[in-house]
Structure 1
Amino acid sequence: MSSSQVNLQGYLIPLEEIIRATEDFSPKRCIGSGGFGEVYKAQLSEKWHNHKVAVKRMGRDSYQGDNEFYNELDMISRFHHENIISFIGYCDEGKERIMVFEFAINGSLDHHLQDPYKRRRIKWTQRLKICLGAARGLNYLHSGLENATRVIHRDIKSANILLDDNFVAKICDFGLSKVGPINQPNTQLYTKVAGTPFYVDPRYHESNILSKESDIYSFGVVLFEMLSGMLVYLPWSIGDDRPQLLMNFVRRYELDNEDKLIDYEIRDQVDNGSVHLFKEIAYQCVHPNFKDRPQIYTIIEKIDEALNIQENGDALIKCVMGDVGFSHGKPVAAFTIYKCLLHLKYLETERTSVFDRLIHIFNSAIEDRDNTAHMAYWLSNASNLLFLIQKSLTVDSASASKSLFGTMAMGFPSSVSSTHLKEVVQQVECKQLTLHFIQQLTECVKKMYSIIRENMKKKVGSILALCIQSNFVQATFINKGLNEKGKIQRPQTLLMHRNCCTFNNGQYVKAGLAELTRWCIQEQEEIQDKPTYT
């Protein structure tokens, strides 16, 4: 018995326990199979802490022999990392060769990509977190082991990335892994080619030279699977293209700016800046020249940066979607959005989908045409956001000032002092993307303003009709509606007055409309209580 086998004695699990836990390797317990054999779901007894486990049983015709089995045991028993599947124990009684690992309740990543329902549930932010976890696990293998050694996995693929109950990525299956010295910058091993077709590094396949960059290539393939939702070995169609394999599309669209590789299930979620960074590092991973492939720590940095960009955008949109109301006469959402845009430097970026997502929210309010109060809330925030952004631009915004709300500075609420405004507004060198956003936002404001006016015309018009029908004109209405000649104006003309549609009146448009609505209701109630004169 080798010294490694002696060190493994503490991990021994009797065959009797494994037979009990797997119900004698019942087919209904089988959850997967491969070249090594079959995998069973089981639960160990109290002596083994009632662990829910995956039991990997070597088949009689497995490509592994005893030497490979014990070498893998010696390797995995020394792994201790959040993103590496935990080793529980093993059994080598008689002819049985069995390994026991923690059970990952959400299965392997490839099953989620293959199942349309499951794939739809893994949002872009979640995909980034899975990729980041897997990258950290790979970094541990390449540089985090003891005894100055590194492990080259040799079979990185989505099927070997498991997901626990929190969707934390766990790298598994080290049957093909090789150990090499870590003190050499470019560890290279001359071995027989092994791995899974479509994931294997072409350089390794052609030369039999294995290096850590071979794992980087395989991981790059997984990154493109996550981006596209396409498994690398299944033909797919993109647009009008005939069905092809993923890597054909990857090479075809390398210089394409239309992001055709993005999974249609997540297109409306992704931030362009996040996707751009992700694609950039993925293409570096699958670079034909292995020397141009990035180090794993660089991959971690880029994915982490892409995740931060995406999470910042998601947090901003989540804040906007909540009706946060007003504070001391100021529209909270407008100021919050503006501060976030400044802090995250969105106003100075050339690539982001945050602006598109904001416009979508404003347009959703416009589509709900009959909900005047809701639209007034968004009109207040959209117009004030427009004002704040325009005040921040260092470019010539003379054309922007001619827009419907270009002169909003004159009507900005007295509750926002000039000192406070200076504290809030910052000068930025905006990009063309911001100017386009200003144009879209201006159009939204115009539409909302127009719809609110039309809605209020109808409301006031109905009150006037009721007054005429009752042969009674309330003095209050006359007082509010007299023009300079003492004649009663048309109700819709009231809405043109500055004191009805200004940002000086309380909480801007929302408060002004609320006041007018309350007055109309009060007048209607009083009219209904009056006797009808004939």
Structure 2
Amino acid sequence: MGLMETYNLEERLVGLIAAQNLGFSKGRPIAACIIYKCLMQWRSFEVEGSSICDRIIETIGQAIETQDNNEILAYWLSNASTLLLLLQGLNLDGEAKYPALLFKQKLTAYVEKIYGMIRNNLKKQIFPSLGLCIQAPRIARASVIKGPAAYLAKAATQEILNKHWEEIVKSLANFLFMLKANHVPPFLVRKVFTQVFFFINVQFFNSLLIRRECCAFSHGEYVMAGLAELEFWCNKATDEYAGSALEELKHIRQAIGFLLIHEKPMKTLDEISHDLCPVLSIQQLYRISSMYHDDEYGTHSLSPEVISDMIVLMTEDSNNHVSRSFLLDDDSSIPFSVDDLSKSLEPMDISDIEPPPLICENAGFSFLLPRAD
């Protein structure tokens, strides 16, 4: 095959993958599979001056310019990660080794970039409802009603709060459906939800520590109801897609669990810091203890001895230059490597992939047609 003919085939291939969503065949992204077959057939890593790899990378870059179109992002995340998996199995030597390595590096960068865009888009989508969930207990307390109407008022407020949580769960479900429909590897799906749940954890936990004095039991009830909604969603999504997302809520779960303890004055510092709230620092525990009071039972928060012990420990930490920051930081890093991704995926057989009709019409692409045994 001459250089001009190869160039024309490259033009057709790039034009096709740029123009339309080629879909999937038994869960395998067709675009990634035919790109890989073409690169191997044309020995693109070995041909000096070949630009096909750069043009594929440019096509992906142009396709994801619309950063808020999650369907497009998920489609290309699926294709880029699959193409990366297929290339991981190559053992090229000599001149072909460097171009292949460079192509894989660029693909890796796009997998990481698209992953980050999808994760951030989900955070942005749930943030307004998350804010309403955080504000709901405070609003409810500000408009408290005494007497016979109190129960109805509390029920009405709980219904409003539930709607905010329902919006969050709906967003999670829609994203999961979209990622599954585009056959994004479950490994990446789990990473998305793990980081988004930690984002939820950070938002709630930090709001718990910076608000003014509040009523522990009322606040705890409201938040615990929402956390139960998230747990129900995780169970429905299954471990394959939700993974360890619930574990990322441990700060807020332990803090709310502390607020809901009935007999706080009876608890020792060792029980609180090691058994009840092992992930919370002394600074965080002290902050919660000093800002929340038990409205439901009229008890004190913690015994004076425990509070005194906390102050002593915080002073020692300060003298030892231990950070006194009690707020959490969100994690916006990329939580996986290419090796992690590759090890999570099963080897893929692409021999029976049917190329699109526009490809089949050209005899130069006959090598893409599945061969009869």
Asked if TM exceeds 0.5, the reply is no
Quick check: which one's helix share is greater? 2
Quick check: which one's strand share is greater? 1
Q: TM-score per shorter chain, which class? A: 0.3 to 0.5
- Give 1 or 2 for the bigger CA radius of gyration: 1
Higher RCO (CA < 8 A, seq sep 6+): 2
Give TM-score, length-normalised by structure 2.
0.39
Give TM-score, length-normalised by structure 1.
0.28
